[in-house]
Structure 1
Amino acid sequence: MLHKNEPIIIKRQKRGKRNHGHGGAWKVAFADFTLAMMALFMVLWIMQIADQKERTMIVQYLRGDMNQTGPINPFELSQSSSIIDLEGNMSIAPSVVPSNPSNRAENTVGNEDGGLISGQFDTKEQLTVLARQLNRVVQNSSMADNITVTVVPQGIRILIHDNVDQFMFTRGSAQMQPYFEELLLSLGPILKNITNSMVISGHTDSTPYAGSLFTNWELSSQRALLARRVLERGGVKRDQVIQVTGMADQIPYIITDTAAAANRRIEALILTSSAEQLLRGMIGAPNESAKNGISIDEIMQKNATN
């Protein structure tokens, strides 16, 4: 059979370029992930700076719990004594601005010493804000379990005591332990920015000394004086402490066990204006409250006329 020389035809087709992209769906997923992470960090940040009462209010608000005026809103600034800004500084609402605030620029809200306005803290709201700042310093120290910060009618009491594991001073002496000295120094930056006067008292347990020349009276006095000296090194003004007292074992903290370690303590009382005036009147300084008193000479003259 004869084969014809037929031409061979090769047909080439152009292949389209494949699209290797995956679309834009991943961008939406990544944006959702980023938003969720931001929300998580915001919650962690709020929980870290909020106290127990504020945390309880937040939980109640998220659960939809109601009170007499409607839902509890922890972010309602009109019902809050303090404002938390986005930079982590504590601002003070007008209702808790201290009396006679200082105009010094370095002590305004948001400063490095705790964000407190310098001035006199007298009202319960003002004292609560100040106590909260002091307590934050306490909780960051190694002696947090030995310290109590309390708002009392006379002002704020900072009570620091021994326990079986930690002593403020070497037993039987006024040699201060380094961690106690560090605590007092850390309180200075806050205390130096207030104009409230302070009193410091030292206390011991009931364990007596063998000799009679050095007693718990001398020991408690020396410890209180040393605490005042360290506070001044931390920034407390010299004329801010108006009284330092050694109380020996006369006012035990643990009444049922006068030899307990907790009776060995240092107490610092931040005084309100009225408490300071009362104290000055008791020790003979002239003030309005002392004018109503009667001197011994007046009593003798009155008895002579009768």
Structure 2
Amino acid sequence: MAGDAKKLQPIIVKKIKKSGHAAHGGAWKIAYADFVTAMMAFFLLMWLLGSTSEGDRKGLSDYFNAPLKVALQGGTGAGASNSILPGGGKDLTERVGQAARGQADDAVKRKMAAQQAAQQVKADAARQDARRIADLRARIEALITNTPKLNEYRSQIRLETTPDGLQIQIVDDQNRPMFDSGSALVKPYMRDILREIGTALNDVENRLSLAGHTDATPYGNGERGYSNWELSADRANASRRELVAAGMPDAKLGRVVGLAASSPLEPATPNAPVNRRITLTVLTREAEERLMGTPPAGDATIASPALSQNAPLSETGLRPMTKGTPP
């Protein structure tokens, strides 16, 4: 019995199962790959920035800033800088590429720089002209004071600094006119004044403008078309010949013009003797460019050197007035 009980005793077997680690998945590999890719792209960008020129970087920037339609349809040469039309070629159907925007920007900058440089040069020239004109005025005033021939007629020589330059005006006096009545025949003392002043202006590099003026009294009855316009032009040309006789180069006189009574010195008294005058202007650079580049304003009659030099005064219509007071 005891043996039977021993046989009937249950046998208990304890089994311990060892399980492996839990599965982690592959998500970390994707994140790591993204990180490595980003680092590679970053270092590649740094290398490109360090190894490319400013122009190349500008081209890349312009490419990404280009309009989408141009970028998509601009052709195989999109991003090229060989077109003068900003934003693309003449036609989107032409596969010739597009103009780089930076090219237009650079052109604008160059244009602005050139304009600023030109303005600076112009300002420097204006300052030099102002100093030169001031020095010349002082020299002319000293010349008038120290030269007996000029000092005697000091009341008839007027100096004025204007925006156009130094204006030297030789005016008529009631008892001492510069020209014979109604003609362009220069009086001896007027000849002395012109030649002395002409000698002083010979070494001035600025060009000159010479104008003749009359008063408002009509010239005779206007026969044969001769009027104060022609008379003032002939007087200006006669004065030009005296300046040339003093040694002044003919090319130094940029303009010789007759203005008749269109610009009186005393508008309130248009027939005053001082309105009959010769005006000699030493031009600034700016005035020279402005005046010489355009024809004289109004109906001013330009004196003709060939006519006045080669023809006797009697043949140019110079004659005493038949009516009124001589201009």
The TM-score with structure 2 as length reference comes to 0.48
Offset, 1:215: 1.1
Match of 2:132 in 1: 126
Please identify the structure whose Cα radius of gyration is greater: 2
**Match of residue 183 from structure 2:** 173
SS at match of 1:160: strand
Q: Aligned to 1:267, what secondary structure does the other structure show? A: strand
Match of 1:237 among 235, 249, 259: 249
Secondary structure (helix, strand or coil) at the match of 1:255 reads coil
Matched residue, 1:292: none
1:150-199 per-residue CA deviation (whole Å, 9 max, x = no partner) reads 22121100011112121110121111110110111111222111111111
Counterpart residue type for residue 183 of structure 1: I
Q: Is the 8 A contact 2:157 2:171 kept in 1?
A: yes
Q: Match of 1:221? A: 233
Matches within 5 A, 1:64-83: none
Question: Any conservation in 1 of the 2:129–2:285 contact (CA below 8 Å)?
Answer: no
1:263 is the counterpart of 2:275: yes
Q: What is the alpha-carbon root mean square deviation over aligned residues?
A: 2.1
Give the 3 Å change call, closer, same or farther, for CA 217–122 of structure 1 in structure 2.
Answer: farther
| Paired-residue identity, % | 31
Counterpart AA for 1:125? R
* Match of residue 186 from structure 1: 196
Could you tell me how far apart the structure 1 residues matched to 2:170 and 2:233 are? 15
**Could you list the runs of 5+ residues in structure 1 that have no partner in the other structure?**
1-98, 101-119, 285-306
Code of the residue aligned with 1:171 in structure 2: it is S
Q: What's the counterpart of residue 59 of structure 1?
A: none
Q: CA deviation at 1:121?
A: 9.1
Deviations 1:102-147 (A, max 9, x none): xxxxxxxxxxxxxxxxxx9943222111111112223331211011
Q: Which residue of 2 aligns with 1:254?
A: 266
Give the Cα–Cα distance (whole angstroms) in 2 for the partners of residues 184 and 280 of structure 1: 23
Greater RCO (CA < 8 Å, at least 6 residues apart): 2
Aligned to 2:159: 149
Distance 1:168 1:210 in 2: 19
Is the contact made by 1:202 and 1:223 (CA closer than 8 Å) also made in structure 2?
yes
Report SS of the residue matched to 2:233. Answer: helix
Structure whose residues are more often helix by fraction: 2
- Aligned counterparts of 1:128 and 1:190: Cα–Cα separation in 2: 14
Q: Which amino acid aligns with 1:209?
A: Y
Instruction: Report the more deviating stretch, 128-137 or 249-258.
Output: 128-137
Retained in 2: the 8 A contact 1:122–1:272?
A: no
Question: Which secondary structure does the structure 1 equivalent of 2:205 belong to?
Answer: coil
Q: Equivalent residues in 2 for 1:1-306 (5 A)?
A: 122-139=128-145, 140=147, 141=150, 142-212=152-222, 213=224, 214-283=226-295
Q: Letter of the aligned partner of 1:265 in structure 2?
A: R
Deviation at 1:206? 0.9
2:81 corresponds to:
none
